[in-house]
Chains A and B, each alone.
Chain A
Amino acid sequence: MRTLLGRLILAATMFAVFAGAAAWAADVNDLLFEGADHHFRGLVDQAIVKFQEALRLDPENEYAHNQLGILYAKKERYDDAFREFSKVVEIDGRNTFAHLWLGILYLRKNDLDRGFTKFNEVIALDPGNADAYYFIGAIYNIRHNPVKAIEYLKKARDADSEEAETHYRLGTAFSNLDMVHNALLEYDRTMALKPTHTKAMNDMGWILYNQGKVDEAVDEWKKVLETNPKDRDAQSNLAKAYGDMALKLQSEGKTKEAVRYWKQMLSVQPGNKAAVYYLKKYQ
């Protein structure tokens, strides 16, 4: 009798444990799914609530901590974000996503050395991590060390060739070394992935301009203004190109033609002092 009762209790307990575990798993996964959905839809506060609830059921859920980290960063609660990512690293030191974000948050705090170290830690854990290579390449780019930037950005590109920013930064590094074919290739790739990448168009324009392909350069910058009429770089670039042409014509005594370019300069940069002055003088 005691044995039967014992078996029944055991069976009931086992059922409760398994049913509970199944319900728990379903609840956590539902919460994670809903949190991810809210997050994607930009419902930051609602997503935070879902992931916090998930963590009450499963305090060591790395995904929930990581998502909360990003959501807190979006709310500019950077210390809380840092705490969440640090927690993930504590739970599992191999979570490269959390390491990466810690590195990004170090950069946000202007801590170059710690950021750099973090990204290297990610590479040590995952030698195929495109993001870590990208950040190290970007850091070298920012330190104007194009040789090292190229080395790392190429690794980022080879690990994941679908990131427009990787191609763009690689383009700027090549351009910094006057490797124009490579620079143009990477800018082309940037725009194939993101046709509205105005920075790539602006930089590409300068390569063409420096090669003497002034009309092509001007077309490139005009394209930028079609994408974003307020793009200050494109406005300055066009103004510079028109100004150069106007000054050249002026020095050759071709005032009439020069006036045409001063007018164009003024159209892209209303109030441009040089254009205003010369138009007043020659018109």
Chain B
Amino acid sequence: MDRRTFLHLLGKGALVSSVAGLFPDLLFGQSAFDLGLQGQELIQNGEYAKAVEVLQKAVAMDPSSDWAYGLLGRAYRGLGKTAEAVDAFRQALRINPEDTYSRWMVEMMTQKPIPKLPKKEKPRSPLELQAEEEEKRVLGRLASKESLEYQVKRVVVDAGHGGFDSGAVGLSGLKEKDVTLELATRLHRRLEAGGRVKSFLTRTGDYYIPLSDRTAVANQYQADLFISIHINANENRKANGSETYYCAEKASNQEAARVAEFENSVLKFDEEFKKEEGFISIEEILFHFEQRMYWKESGSFAGRFQEKFKTDLPFRSRGVNSANFFVLRRAKMPSILLETGFISNPEDESKLKTPAFLDRVADSVFRGIA
């Protein structure tokens, strides 16, 4: 007879009488197993209070006995002490995760509210004491509404390209990497001066940062919004205007899909939360929910920025586009990519050289955040 069958039969009381019949002395012995058997019999007889007493001795004697904890759970359940019963069944499960009966009991009993057991106070570690002090100092000063509105307190501003990667180059030699850095720096200063939002830059000089490192910066500072600044270019020198991209499940048009496909082609998709048959993960549901919320929020931000550009800048609005960009997909916050003007258009290029115009663009983006 294997252990599971033995325990199952024991659970039904089938073994007790035979064991008792064969070895009567066992019932009066003092080993944890003997006490367990004694407790089992008391449960069978409905003497739950006595069973608890005996089984508590059994678990004290052998704290690694899932069987004794399971019995203790049953005895408490018989007494109507749900919290204690669940606690004992949970302990049985910790010892033996395969204990179906205890799991079943926990699942059944916790379907509805159960009383809580008093907590045992433990001495605090130095880090716990520091944390308590920090909490008193910081958290008390902060207040927040119940609102579910998305909050932006930290922004990472990304100047596109840099270093050996100049990005697009205008007819007069203006480089996209320089314009994006100018714009990003101006926006950063504007945000810092505003005081309401903390700002961080992905680069502060003329050097190249790979795409994945840019989102790493956003994660480094736990940003609430990631803004990547770019300047558009086209073989057609007359092409002009501003547009905003954001990450979404589906591309808004064929061109956006093509751009995303190109961006994604060099990267392998991660294995995180790969679907397993017959498996459901709450964290996976939350992860996807979080992503979709960020994409939705990215769309709102993109729309808001494009509206500002329409009214603030002398550019034709080319609208908002979306696509499934792998790099943006990994950001743990809404993320957008701005294309403010065409460096390939001589008229736009001359504007983008003017500090006053760059301030105007930075102001417009700032107002989109605020």
Point out the residue from A36, A74, A172, A188 that lies within 8 Å of B107, measured CB to CB.
Answer: A36
Cβ proximity bits B130-151 to A, threshold 8 Å, 1 near / 0 not: 1101110011001111111111
B-side interface size class = 35 or more
Tell me the complex Cα distance, A179–B150, Å: 21
Tell me the complex Cα distance, A249–B30, Å: 71
Q: Which residues of B contact A (CB under 8 A)?
A: 98, 100-101, 103-104, 107-108, 110-113, 115-116, 127-128, 130-131, 133-135, 138-139, 142-154, 163-165, 207-210, 212-213, 215-217, 219-222, 224, 266, 270-271, 278-280, 282-283, 285-286, 288-290, 292-293, 296, 330, 333
- Chain B residue numbers with a CB within 8 Å of A98 are 111
- Chain B residue numbers with a CB within 8 Å of A108 are 285, 288-289
CB atoms of B208 and A185 under 8 A apart:
no
Interface centre among A128, A142, A176, A273 (most CB of B within 10 A): A142
Query: How far is the CB of A276 from the nearest CB of chain B, in Å?
Result: 10
Taking A148-B146, A175-B222, A176-B222 as contacts, is the C-beta distance between A185 and B127 under 8 angstroms? yes
CB atoms of B111 and A110 under 8 A apart:
no
Tell me the complex Cα distance, A269–B203, Å: 19
A-side interface size class = 35 or more
Tell me the complex Cα distance, A129–B115, Å: 10
Point out the residue from B111, B221, B271 that lies within 8 Å of A66, measured CB to CB.
Answer: B111
Query: How far is the CB of A31 from the nearest CB of chain B, in Å?
Result: 11
Cβ proximity bits A196-239 to B, threshold 8 Å, 1 near / 0 not: 00000010001001100000000000000000001011011101
Query: How far is the CB of B272 from the nearest CB of chain A, in Å?
Result: 8
- Chain B residue numbers with a CB within 8 Å of A32 are 104
Query: How far is the CB of B334 from the nearest CB of chain A, in Å?
Result: 9
CB atoms of B130 and A181 under 8 A apart:
yes
Query: How far is the CB of A135 from the nearest CB of chain B, in Å?
Result: 8
CB atoms of B104 and A181 under 8 A apart:
no
- Chain A residue numbers with a CB within 8 Å of B112 are 92, 94-97, 126
CB atoms of B333 and A144 under 8 A apart:
yes
CB atoms of B220 and A62 under 8 A apart:
no
CB atoms of B270 and A230 under 8 A apart:
yes
Query: How far is the CB of A67 from the nearest CB of chain B, in Å?
Result: 8
Point out the residue from A175, A181, A237, A273 that lies within 8 Å of B208, measured CB to CB.
Answer: A273
Taking A107-B289, A240-B217 as contacts, is the C-beta distance between A182 and B135 under 8 angstroms? yes
- Chain B residue numbers with a CB within 8 Å of A145 are 144, 147-148, 151
Tell me the complex Cα distance, A97–B113, Å: 9
CB atoms of A233 and B219 under 8 A apart:
yes
Query: How far is the CB of B117 from the nearest CB of chain A, in Å?
Result: 10
- Residues of A71-121 at the interface with B, using a CB-CB cut-off of 8 Å, are 73-75, 92, 94-98, 104, 107-108, 110, 112-113, 116
Q: Can you show 28 pairs from A to B with CB atoms below 8 A apart?
A: A36-B100, A40-B103, A44-B278, A73-B280, A92-B112, A97-B111, A107-B285, A107-B289, A110-B292, A126-B112, A139-B148, A143-B148, A143-B149, A145-B144, A145-B147, A148-B146, A159-B116, A175-B222, A176-B222, A182-B131, A232-B330, A236-B215, A239-B210, A240-B220, A243-B210, A243-B213, A271-B266, A274-B207
